[in-house]
Structure 1
Amino acid sequence: MEKPTILLTLKGPQGAVAEVASIIAAGGSPFGIGSDAGGSIRWPAHCCGIVGMKPTTGRAPRTGHWPAFSGIFSLVTQIGPMARSVEDISLTLPMLSGPDGIDPTVMPIPLKDPSEVKLSELNITFHTDNGLATPINEIQNAVKNAAEILENNVKSIDQKTPEALKMSASLHSQIMGADAGETARAILKNAGSNAMDPNLLSRINMMSTSPAYLPDFLEMLVELEEYRSKLLQFMLTTNTDVMIGPAAPVPATLHGHGYDGFPENGSYSHAYNLAGWPALVMRGGTSKEGLPVGIQIISKPWCEEKVIAVALELEKNLETFPGPTI
């Protein structure tokens, strides 16, 4: 059996569900389910060259997830599918979607069929840099290549960057660290954890530096609404149906190592946790080291069908999951 690139190079997929992405990439499972509060579905998909989707916040129940999501985490977290192909995502997402009568955050909004989307009616904008963390050339080129592939199939495609994206890194960090990491520590304590991964510990310690008192937290919620409004205004004023951008600024790093430049490096994921928008990551190219690099496809809330329709079209022309040879 041929080992996936990720193993050959001793690189490690980052994220809370990195093991799911690794198993899918190794051919050990056709699909998986993850949770995404800051890119935990999408970043591992980017690193492993598979497909991962964070649906609209409120699309899929989080019932039964450990740890239970409430309070701060509830604002930004959603359950979503991971798979080897976009087609498999389109098959698994309906299984996860819709109210279950337990999770109060789920909305009874029907999931539309991607096959009914007419690409010729879609206006698309793309960006290669969010102004916070400049991606490597191979990632920027992957986004540009995706735009070129779609150019003759959609109504319009233009390079435009939402100015609001520059707010995402600091805002996500402030919200997630508003309780100075106490929620995270309580979860670990209740689970009986006596040891902590160094990368996780550094994240929690980072949270401890920015506790928010009630007036500060209320101001964060106001800023969150402003951020969401500015993104919606961008879509309105540019007449955008779907956006395409980088999944991350860099490919996978050495196993056990974190990423420099956090939280800016995570801002490509954080942006759509804050917004609550559907976002899908798929392989868009390869780095000079031979590692997969991802592109991200995004749309407004409850428009998963547009995201998947565009991704399906790209999948016909892009280098996608090769699968191990046995």
Structure 2
Amino acid sequence: MSVVRGTCQDARMVRSAIGLAEELRAGETTAVDVVREAIERVRWAGERFGGVAAVDAGWSMAEAERADRRLRAGEGGVLEGVPVTVKDWIDVAGWPVSGAAGGTPGSPGRRPERDATAVARLRAAGAVVVAISSAMADNPVHGKTGNPRDPGRAPGGSSSGTAALVAAGAVPLGLGSDSGGSVRLPAAWCGVAGLKPTFGRVPLTGHFPRCGSLEDGRTVIGPIAGTVADLAATLEVIAGPDGMDGGTPPVPLGDPGAVRVPGLRVATMAGAGGHEATARAVRTLAEAGAAVAERPLPDVREEALELTRRYWDRAGLSGEENVRVLWDWDRFRRRMLAATARADVLVIPAAEEPPPWRESETDDYLWTLPWSLTGAPVVVVPCGGSAVQVVGRPWEEHVVLAAAAEIERAEAPG
């Protein structure tokens, strides 16, 4: 492989994570070669687009050498030797993870002693961390991140660096986190795939700043990748209880390969009618045999925004006001579960508008906030030059992954 020096479209000519893992197991390349080039790509992308918080080439190359030894012994994991990045809010042992974002530098000099559970599981599967990716499009410590599709455009936040490095072809896979759209919006605007798992599917152990199911019922850790198949493979590695996060129950994962798209019940939401990508994705599923509901769900975007703003302001609320926020949140979640009970997936826009110019520094979470409040699983998949969200019922990631894969196949060139 040669280091990408051209446009974003050149950089996107990068193999998928699971495809790369297969080549490594077959002996067609080595982890040392793959990781060395990934480090070079990360540095190139960081210089051109930003998004890089830390690189430790010596550490990563030592991990690659150990991966090659396991591969030669026939002991490689499912992601053995595959380079990944991790958002600067998710602990990687020995690496600088500061939590810098917005107007705060976080905790400069902080180097956690233990991996976050999701990171530990990726590494146990053989993945090699090659960079810490910066959070937010304008980070007070790590600077600005551009959009590899158009460097003058915003990448979306807050998993900005993760999405930018995948979109730039630096790595096939990265870990981010999502509280209101922070995996989904960057994936959409950067033109890659992203997964917000069901709330509680992936342990939050090792997320920094700390969060848990009782303190924050929205935040999840999830992957950003070049393909839907890579999202599914990553979820299989990182999902499940770890004995430390009490908000992660032992709910088995379904198999996307066992889902039949013909017969799936598909709906959309009022307000999505003017979005061509959404109409295109719905047509794709209909042509594959899915049944499309005639009436869309009610538009709940403004209600979700108002409820989320009250939650954001909870530190300044009285006890009685906080009780009311939680009551209204529970009521919203019950209503949405009832409204979506007759649909297997909901197909809606990922954002209201295309990515804005970087100077505007605005994010567009109106379409993403409702599903953070309900805890539903969501896949973002590129479609028609834009992106859509495929929303499912809680714990049914396999269904949304199967539907998103069908949309992805229809969008594939040729």
TM-score for both structures, normalised by structure 1? 0.78
Pairing partner for 1:313 from 372, 395, 406 = 406
Answer whether contact 1:162 1:231 (CA < 8 A) is retained: no
Partner of 1:274: 373
TM-aligned CA distance change 1:90 to 1:76, over 3 Å:
same
Shift of 1:154: 3.2
Give the 4+ runs in structure 1 shifted more than 4 A.
none
Note the 1:98-109 alignment, pairs <5 A: 98-109=240-251
TM-aligned CA distance change 1:52 to 1:155, over 3 Å:
closer
Pairing partner for 1:3 from 1, 7, 11 = 7
Q: Distance in 2 between matches of 1:72 and 1:12?
A: 33
Q: Distance in 2 between matches of 1:233 and 1:71?
A: 23
Shift of 1:312: 0.8
Report whether the alignment pairs 1:225 with 2:326. no
Q: Distance in 2 between matches of 1:216 and 1:176?
A: 13
Shift of 1:72: 7.2
Partner of 1:149: 284
SS at match of 2:241: coil
Give 1:122's aligned amino acid: L
Answer whether contact 1:56 1:302 (CA < 8 A) is retained: yes
Query: Larger radius of gyration, structure 1 or 2?
Result: 2
Answer whether contact 1:128 1:143 (CA < 8 A) is retained: no
Answer whether contact 1:72 1:176 (CA < 8 A) is retained: no
Report whether the alignment pairs 1:114 with 2:207. no
Tell me the alpha carbon deviations over residues 54-98 of structure 1, each in whole angstroms, 9 at most, x when there is no partner.
000000011111111147752110111110010111111111100
Note the 1:234-313 alignment, pairs <5 A: 234-236=339-341, 239-259=342-362, 265-286=364-385, 293-313=386-406
Q: Distance in 2 between matches of 1:129 and 1:318?
A: 23
Answer whether contact 2:241 2:249 (CA < 8 A) is retained: yes
SS at match of 2:366: helix
Tell me the alpha carbon deviations over residues 149-199 of structure 1, each in whole angstroms, 9 at most, x when there is no partner.
1113234112512344441110011112211xxxxxxxxxxxxxxxxxxxx
Q: Distance in 1 between matches of 2:155 and 2:287?
A: 34
Answer whether contact 2:265 2:344 (CA < 8 A) is retained: yes
Percent identical: 29
Q: Distance in 2 between matches of 1:145 and 1:155?
A: 14
Give 1:35's aligned amino acid: S
Q: Distance in 1 between matches of 2:206 and 2:365?
A: 27
Partner of 2:231: 89
TM-aligned CA distance change 1:125 to 1:71, over 3 Å:
closer
Tell me the alpha carbon deviations over residues 70-127 of structure 1, each in whole angstroms, 9 at most, x when there is no partner.
4775211011111001011111111110001111110100011001111123111023
Give 2:6's aligned amino acid: E
Partner of 2:314: 178
TM-score for both structures, normalised by structure 2? 0.62
Number of residue pairs aligned between Structure 1 and Structure 2: 271
Partner of 2:203: 61
Answer whether contact 1:278 1:304 (CA < 8 A) is retained: yes
Q: Which runs of 5+ in 1 are unaligned?
A: 180-210, 287-292, 321-326
Give 1:34's aligned amino acid: G
TM-aligned CA distance change 1:166 to 1:281, over 3 Å:
same
TM-aligned CA distance change 1:309 to 1:106, over 3 Å:
same
Q: Distance in 2 between matches of 1:154 and 1:160?
A: 19
SS at match of 1:127: coil
Q: Distance in 2 between matches of 1:311 and 1:2?
A: 29
RMSD (Å) for aligned C-alpha atoms: 2.1
SS at match of 1:267: coil
Give 2:352's aligned amino acid: P
Partner of 1:196: none
Bigger relative contact order (CA 8 A; separation at least 6): 1
Answer whether contact 2:212 2:247 (CA < 8 A) is retained: no
Answer whether contact 1:36 1:79 (CA < 8 A) is retained: yes
Q: Distance in 1 between matches of 2:184 and 2:259?
A: 23
TM-aligned CA distance change 1:70 to 1:92, over 3 Å:
closer
